[in-house]
Each structure stands twice: as C-alpha cells, then as structure tokens.
Amino acid sequence: MAQYLIVAVIVAAAVCYSCWLLMPASWRRAGAAKLAARATRSGLNAQTASRLRTRLERAGACGDCASCKGCAPSPTAARH
C-alpha cells in the first residue's frame, strides 16, 4: 500500500512540474508571484521570496527565453 502512495506522489509531482513548464509565460509569472507571496506569509524573508519568484518565472519549456530578447521591442520602436 505504501508503494502505491509513493508512486502516486511521484507521478503527481511530475505532472505538476510538466504543467508548470508548459504553461504560458504570463500564467507562470502570475503563479510565481502568488507562490512567492504565500511563501512570505508563511515566514520566508522577502529577499528569498523574491529569488524564488524570479527562479519560478524563468522556468520554461523552450529554454531560457529571458535571455533571448526576441520578444522585446526594438530601441528605435520605443522612441517613436
């Protein structure tokens, strides 16, 4: 019986992890902010919660999109 429970916990963790990686970035940012706020209320200091939020926001399925800058507006477009 305990083996089934352990397997169920591992599978549930894998499903949660996969869903987190595959969800849209905007949902991931909102979820990361909510989790960091909940961690702060649970006693985690603000600096550690901020690092947690940043780390969760950057987790993505297609690599590190934060370093790509492909979606960022061009500097010339920002001036107009």
Q: How does the average pLDDT of the chain come out, rounded?
A: 79
pLDDT per residue over 32-56, tens digit each?
Answer: 888 888 888 888 888 888 887 888 7
pLDDT of amino acid 77: 52
Mean pLDDT, residues 1-26:
93
pLDDT per residue over 14-29, tens digit each?
Answer: 999 999 888 888 888 8
- Estimate to the nearest angstrom the gap between the alpha carbon of 64 and the chain centroid: 12
Nearest to 39 by CA among 22, 54, 24: 54
pTM of the model: 0.56
What are the sequence ranges of the domains in the chain? 25-55
- Whether residue 79 has pLDDT greater than 70: no
